[in-house]
Amino acid sequence: MDKTIRYTLYVLIITICIVSIGIAVYAQFFQKDKESKYTNNINTIDDHNIITEQDIKHSFLDLFTNEFYSNYDDTKVKKVDSTKDIVYTAYSKTETIEGKYSIDLNIPLINISGNIVNEYNSTTQEVFVDKINAIMENATEYTIYNLDYIAYVNNNILSVAIKATIKEGDNPQRIIVQTYNYDIEKDKDIKLSDILTLREIENNIVENKIQETIEKTSKDAEKMAESGYTVYKRNLNSNIYKINNIQTFIQGPNGELYIIFAYGNNNYTSEMDIIEI
C-alpha cells in the first residue's frame, strides 16, 4: 500500500477515535447536566404546587368583597326590586357590645323572582340570619361573627358564595361557606356535574384531583399533629368528595371553578380545602 495512502488512513482512524472520545465525554457530562436541570425543574414545579395550593385558598378567601361583579344584561330578568342589581347587600351592620358580641355583617339578597331563588334566600335566612339574630338577642358568651359574600355571572350562570367566620366563647373558630349556582335563563339550579358537562370535563378527572389534594393536605395535617398541633382530621374515604355529593362550589371572576370543602359547616374548625379547576 502506498505510504501516502497508509498515512492518510492512520490519520483518519486517529481522528475518528478522537471525535468518538469527545462525543462520549460530552454525553457523559452534558447529559448529566441536562438531567440535573430537569430534576431541578421537577423540584421547582413540586414546590410551586405546594405554594399554589395555599395561594388558591388565599385567592378564594380574598374574593369576598361584598359586591356583585357582572357585565350581564339583566334587562330581561324578572327582579323582585327593579331598582336593584341581581344580587345586592340587603343588610349591613357593624357593632360591638362589650361582653356580648362583635359583629361585622354584609347579608346578600338574590333579586330574582322564582321558587328556586326564594329557596336560596330562605337558606341564607336559616343558616346565617337566624344565627345572627340569636347572637344579638341572647348571646350567653362573647361571640365574634363576620359575614361576607361575593357574586358573579359566567355564561348565564349566577354564582353566589356566602362566608361566615364565627368564634363563640372558648370554642374553636368556625368558617361556614354556603354557595348557590343558578342558570338565569333556564331558571334552573346548577349542580357541579352540570358545570363539568358544560366544560367537557370528566367526573373521574376531577375526583382524582380532589383525592390527590385531600391526601396531601391530610399528610401535612398528620405531620403537624406529630409536632403537637391540634389539626382537623379528614376522612379520605368519605363520600363528601364524590362529584354527586358536592354542594359547595362557585365560578370565579374569570370563570375559575372553585370546589370548596368547608369543614366548619358541620364542625368547630376553620379548616378548608379548596380545589380550583
Give yes or no: residues 99 and 117 share one domain: yes
Give yes or no: residues 153 and 247 share one domain: yes
Residue 46 is predicted with a pLDDT of 43
Domain that holds residue 17: 1-62
Q: Residues 21-50: pLDDT tens digits?
A: 444 434 443 333 433 332 333 233 344 444
Give yes or no: residues 4 and 137 share one domain: no
Using CB atoms within 10 Å of the CB of residue 112, give its burial: 0 to 12 exposed, 13 to 18 middle, 19+ buried.
buried
Residue 229 is predicted with a pLDDT of 79
How many structural domains comprise the chain?
2
Average pLDDT over residues 231-249: 94
The last residue of one of the domains, among 11, 27, 62, is 62
Assign 3-class secondary structure to the chain: CCHHHHHHHHHHHHHHHHHHHHHHHHHHHHHHHHHHHHHHHHHHHHHHHHHHHHHHHHHHHHCCCCEEECCCCCCCCCCCCCCCCCEEEEEEEEEEECCCEEEEEEEEEECCCCHHHHHHHHHHHHHHHHHHHHHHHHCCCCEEEEEEEEEEEECCEEEEEEEEEEEECCCCCEEEEEEEEEECCCCEECCHHHHHHHCCCCHHHHHHHHHHHHHHHHHHHHHHHHCCCCCCCCCCCCHHHCHHHCCCEEECCCCCEEEEEEHHHCCCCCCEEEEEC
Q: Residues 156-165: pLDDT tens digits?
A: 999 999 999 9
Give yes or no: residues 171 and 94 share one domain: yes
Give yes or no: residues 191 and 234 share one domain: yes
Contact 192, 277 (CB under 8 A): no
Give me the chain's average pLDDT, please: 85
Give yes or no: residues 209 and 228 share one domain: yes
The last residue of one of the domains, among 18, 36, 62, is 62
Q: Residues 116-126: pLDDT tens digits?
A: 999 999 999 99
The last residue of one of the domains, among 16, 47, 62, is 62
Q: Residues 184-208: pLDDT tens digits?
A: 999 999 999 999 999 999 999 999 9
Q: What percent of the chain has pLDDT over 90?
A: 73
pLDDT of 16 over the 90 cut: no
Give yes or no: residues 32 and 162 share one domain: no
Residue 52 is predicted with a pLDDT of 63
Give yes or no: residues 9 and 107 share one domain: no
Give yes or no: residues 81 and 58 share one domain: no
Give yes or no: residues 126 and 40 share one domain: no
Q: What percent of the chain has pLDDT over 70?
A: 81
Give yes or no: residues 42 and 94 share one domain: no
Could you tell me the pLDDT band of residue 227, with boundaries at 50, 70 and 90?
A: confident
pLDDT of 73 over the 60 cut: yes
